[in-house]
Amino acid sequence: MIADELVHQIKQAVAQAMIDFRPFVYGHIASYDPAGHRVRCIIPCMQDDSGEPVLTPWMPMGTLSAGQGYGVQIVYQGGATAQNPTNGEQVLIGLFDRHRGVSAVPAMHFHDNAQPPATQLPKGASPVVAGDVLISNPSMSLLRLHANGDLEYTGTGKVIATTTGDVTVTTSQGTATVNANKAVNIIAPAISLAQAIGDTVQNLCTTAFRNWAASHTHQNTGPPLTQPPANGLTSIVSAE
């Protein structure tokens, strides 16, 4: 068991014996309801009439932002039971009355069994600095906003963006690079290319077509003796 939680349980037991009300206790998530972002928790430091750790009623789970279309929601795994009370994620439970009739989970804490993302950085990643923001999940996906303004995503899954509006990628000083070990697919009714890119693609297509036309054969004959002139080819890609 986590050391600070054990100390808290001892203090809580003494407080109960002295009829001293303490408004905050440690708990562990037993069940999570994503539709209501609420949880039921096991409270190891409190026992019911049979001497087992208390299972709370459903309680609202705190979040960084909620309401008016805004929301930050993390779906928790849970799993705490009376037999294994610390199996679920550790939370801090606020008790608003002595009989636990009204309660809520205002916060969570990192501990030895649930370490911060800064301790689980991918191999070769730069150390965190003041101002970094990190969001991670159990599949080792990491979204990192660097203090210098860089946005970095590391993961093993797909990156999917779906929108009904325009998608714009603009860099005023740097370059845009797409690296793929298979294919890069661009599917659209029309593709517009800027002048510099258009020239490059057009030259590439023109060169490839000229090489094919200059080297193809008819039946058993060799390549044609007369090479096609560059101005005699039809442009495959028209640049703006």
**Tens digits of residue pLDDT in 132-182:** 999 998 888 899 999 999 999 998 888 999 999 999 988 888 888 999 998
Is CATH 1.10.510.10 what the domain over 3-108 is classified as, yes or no? no
Query: Do 206 and 230 touch, CB atoms closer than 8 A?
Result: yes
The mean pLDDT of the chain is 80
In the chain, which ranges are continuous DSSP H helix?
Answer: 3-17, 195-215
Dist CA 11 CA 231 (whole Å): 89
Q: In degrees to the nearest 10, what's the CA dihedral of 105, 107, 113, 118?
A: 150
Give the pair of three-digit tokens for residue 168: 């714009």
Q: What are phi and psi of 43, to 5 degrees?
A: -110, 100
Query: Do 93 and 109 touch, CB atoms closer than 8 A?
Result: no
Query: Do 78 and 41 touch, CB atoms closer than 8 A?
Result: no
| pTM for this model (two decimals) | 0.64
Q: Domain segments of the chain: what residues?
A: 3-108, 117-154, 195-232
pLDDT of residue 95: 84
Could you tell me the end-to-end alpha-carbon distance of the chain, in angstroms, rounded to an integer? 67
pLDDT of residue 71: 84
pLDDT tens digits, 69-110: 888 889 999 999 999 999 999 999 998 766 556 788 988 888
pLDDT tens digits, 53-72: 999 999 999 988 888 888 88
> Which is more confident, 190 or 127?
127
Provide the residue type at 74 as one letter: I
Question: Quick one: DSSP state of residue 200?
Answer: H
